[in-house]
Structure 1
Amino acid sequence: MYQLTGVTKRYRRGKDTVDALRGIDLAIADGDQLVIQGPTGGGKSTLLQMLGGLDRPTNGSVLLDGTDLARLGETRLTRVRAQQIGFIFQSFNLIPTLTAQENVETALVPLGVHPGQRRQQAAEALESVGLGERLSHLPSELSGGQQQRVAIARALVKQPKVLLADEPTGNLDEATRDDIMSLLEGLWRDRGLTFVIVTHDSAIAKRAPRLATIRKGTLTVRESTPS
């Protein structure tokens, strides 16, 4: 699935150069679940952006099924993201003027899915996350946990190979966090997804079958026994 080799990311900050990632080597197999944990500013989100093709490394390669995302042109890279990778973010990133169903449909527009089929697939995706009765609700009419379920449905409606989640429970209380993680883990198992999640939450890290820790741009990976 993924093979990262020598991935370095440097940013210019005024006159200084900051190394967000320092020569990262990482393999993620098909169907793997990997949790990435570490302090703020340690490089977690930068690494996730590399996996999602949202940013390019300064040096190194990011292979997804043998294709180097770092070397793809923007048109092809956009297509890979649209077809193969689902994203979930801490802030939900829902469009406030669209209903839950319409928000989910937005993931299918770049794929050229017919409007009628989009509506059907969006409804089925929302049903799969327990929101089959909330299709016409606006984000403002939903709780935080429900909004994140809409975001999960949007990420999965296109049936991606990869699900990338950046602090997906960061805006949720403890009980809702556990509900969302149980939902995500169930979807991961049922759909055979490759699932990578960035979190600062130790309770989530303890659940992971595989845990990576990143500090000052350096990655350490260890197998873990989920609790």
Structure 2
Amino acid sequence: MDYSIARRLMVEQQVVRRGVRDPLVLEAMLRVPRHLFVEEALWSQAYGDFPLPIGEKQTISQPFMVAFMTEAMCLRGGEKILEIGTGSGYQAAILSQIVSRVFTVERVPSLARRARRILDSVGCRNVNIKLTDGTCGWEEEAPFDAIIVTAGSPDIPHYYLKQLALDGRLIIPVGSRGSQVLKRVVRIGEDKFSEENLLDCRFVPLIGKYGWKEEEI
């Protein structure tokens, strides 16, 4: 299978056709070998328009959602980004092609180790991974120009708002365990934030002190 052709078709048919236009996002999607972020048995499905399992009850998001959320961050290059939920490492790899530094947190050790290995293998040297409760963010490295959350939360953890830089953007799915609304929150003042709904979505639950409790899942 020619994965470069598969990537081009993925971008043309699943991303551009559905409205994503940011050239930085499209170029990153074309460069990153998505199939390497799933098990080899799933390589032939890696460029399909659907999420795929990565173990530990987690998934790699469908290509369109990765592209849409990345574009929603309004990146111009050179930013410092926080990702909540490393998972496969694919979203972090896409971000690493655009921004200066990516800080990503993961609560599952096996996923963090696997993501680190794959990110290193594809040359993503500007990605830092921390094993911790993602609902607390990464306070030591704050503030961030943007924060992206790749799991559904019952509400917006206050730590994310505190760790946004002025004019920083937070992209987060908020709602029930089975259905959420993707929101963009922008810090417009010390204690002022604007909020807008972007689209309906469905993500795995955000588990942690300020998200869903493990026993609730």
State whether TM-score is above 0.5. Answer: no
Larger radius of gyration: 1
The higher relative CO (CA closer than 8 Å, separation ≥ 6) is in 1
TM-score, reference length from structure 2: 0.28
